[in-house]
Amino acid sequence: MGSASLSILTPSKPTPVSSTEEDPPNPSTALLSFNTDSSTPPHKPTTTILFISLLVITCIALSASIAFAFLFFSSSSSSSSSPLSLQIESTARPLTKLDRPVVLLISSDGFRFGYQFKTPTPNIGRLIANGTEAETGLIPVFPTLTFPNHYSIVTGLYPAYHGIINNYFADPITGETFTMQSHEPKWWLGEPLWETVANHGLKASTYFWPGSEVKKGSWNCPLNYCRYYNSSVPFEERVDTVLHYFDLPSSEIPVFMTLYFEDPDHQGHQVGPDDPEITEAVARIDRMIGRLIQGLEKRGVFEDVTIIMVGDHGMVGTCDKKLIFLEDLAPWIEIPESWVQSYSPLLSIRPPAGFSHSDVVAKMMEGLRSGKVDSGKNLRVFLKEELPDRLHYVASDRISPIIGLVEEGFKVEQKKSKRKECGGAHGYDNAFFSMRTIFIGHGPQFARGHKVPSFENVQIYNLVTSILDIQGAPNNGTVSFPKSVLLSSP
């Protein structure tokens, strides 16, 4: 079985992500000014008296306004519900009910950044207003697929290092196939957060998360603390189960929990990102967040619990007119189905022995650039070692030697057909803004009303271990990242 060596992970620094968007300037304080234009003609005495009277009245009014503003800002600073209280603290807030920090990591699958504006989301909005948000979204790892990204979030590793390089793939040595039902430890490299927590003698719980059912290291998916995936379980039941953990004795409460929702990814694939079904799915997720907040408040622990809400990727619309067919390349080179590991949005090709990989790429690109292949300009084919470094998609023999990057919204298929499809997809280059998702942090160590630049999800592992004050495993995140996002200890 091909596997990436973890010995090189020292925590290495990923390619820096620069944000071209700047925080909007803070509204400047309004200043009252008088017009002292020298061209104003001299006043008569009565006019002068009137002017002086108005000046006195204006000064009194201005003084009263300043006094009122002072009292208003002073009183509102103690209220977390008022926008005027959104000031960045300098230190973490002390716990009042829990004995130690607890992190609840929530994933809303396929929650594209911007979905929160499709419909009123008062509960998600509350977390944002009183917490810290990635202002222009969370950047997924490449490929922007569900399993690679969920496992990157909890390991801090790029897919080439944690081994889950796609939702489906074949081991080039054994020929075995990985699917989303594969729970054998040999596939899942790295150390996920629940294992890290268990290594420190602490309790973790997982309510659905790719990889959480895998028994490896000190994590054995304990009964009552680990749920095997079942999409039919109502969202309400999932939330209520997590809430019941806070009814346990303090020493029994897991310090790290996961909670997973399939929506709005489920709807996005069927109807694309702009359908009313997405709006309703987002509203439903917001109701679940409201149910969670209400339950935590009832137990008096809402302000103590650290909630980190993320998605794994975004979504973009697709349609039949945006198709690229491999059979159209036949005049230059035939690509048999047996060579193709995956088609879209990540084209993955592994030719059999005896074929030059560079020759295959050259002939494919000749055809795609010829202008004779429908939509050919929307597919670029690379030897994997020639992919852009920012994708971090080379250091595993599980990755096919030939990788095709498909333009946003396009799909690759083997043969032309009359099948009609208009829906949504993800998996594209993570540089596309449509692939971004959300990051919201709310809790004692997150400043209220704070915005941070976009960052890659491999940083979340170190963020969680810093909050829990435990030593993490080597990973691709930067050691300094938590300091740039979290408040200092009180």
Q: Can you list the alpha helix ranges (DSSP code H) found in 388-445? A: none
Q: Which two tokens stand for residue 349?
A: 């090709």
Residue spans of beta strands (DSSP E) within 120-275: 132-134, 169-170, 177-178, 204-207, 226-227, 256-261
Q: Which two tokens stand for residue 176?
A: 């075995």
Q: How far apart are CA 150 and CA 248, in angstroms?
A: 28
Q: How far apart are CA 172 and CA 194, in angstroms?
A: 29
Q: Which of 354, 253, 236 is nearest to 301 (CA)?
A: 253
- Active-site option among 121, 146, 206, 306: 146
Residue spans of beta strands (DSSP E) within 146-193: 169-170, 177-178
CA–CA distance from 193 to each of 104, 198, 313, 461 (Å)? Answer: 12, 9, 20, 7
Tell me which residue has tokens 């941070």.
Answer: 452
Catalytic annotation on 146?
Answer: yes
User: First-to-last CA distance in the chain?
Assistant: 48
- Residue 411's H or E segment, with its range, is strand 411-413
Tell me which residue has tokens 């390991």.
Answer: 155
Is residue 430 within 8 A of residue 140, CB to CB? The reply is yes
DSSP one-letter string for 90-149: SBPPPPSS-SS--EEEEEETT--TTGGGSS--HHHHHHHHTSEEETT-BBPPSS--HHHH
Instruction: Show Cβ contacts of residue 194 under 8 Å, excluding neighbours closer than 6 positions.
Output: 154, 204, 206, 212, 219, 256, 258
Q: Which of 314, 313, 309 is nearest to 107 (CA)?
A: 309
Is residue 462 within 8 A of residue 11, CB to CB? The reply is yes
Active site residues: 146
